[in-house]
Amino acid sequence: PGPVESVLTAPGFKRWSAVTSQLSGVGLGLWLLSGYPVASLPGYYFSLSAAVAFKVTRCCHDEKVPAGVAHCYRGVTDEPQIILEKAWESSRQFTTKTLKSWRIMARKNAPASLKGFFGAK
């Protein structure tokens, strides 16, 4: 097989194109709801889908590992639904942690008249 055929039939490319297609479908649905012009599809929705798919399916190379340890490893092999669930949970935990720290800071620095507004603790 030639170089183009080798790339197009490689497992990594097949995985990337499948994930890109799924994310682009979601992007198309969001675009339909957004009201933006058609010109925004390739630049914002499809390019972002391709970039996210590349990030989650690419193989990585780590130069800083000791001898005898594999330098290359595969990217995430989870389905997009699982990836989105993990991203949602991570975002939820980050938001909860951030809001908690903001409340603590607000309680410490708020004027006396507003102390009860941020909860008693």
> Residue ranges per domain, the chain?
1-77, 78-121
Q: Rounded to two decimals, what is the model's pTM?
A: 0.55
Measure the CA–CA gap between 76 and 60, rounded to whole angstroms: 10
Q: Token match 């997009």: residue?
A: 80
- Nearest Cα to Cα of residue 83 among 43, 110, 49: 49
Measure the CA–CA gap between 52 and 87, rounded to whole angstroms: 12
pLDDT in tens, 19-67: 899 889 988 998 999 989 999 888 888 999 999 888 888 777 677 778 8
Measure the CA–CA gap between 94 and 91, rounded to whole angstroms: 5
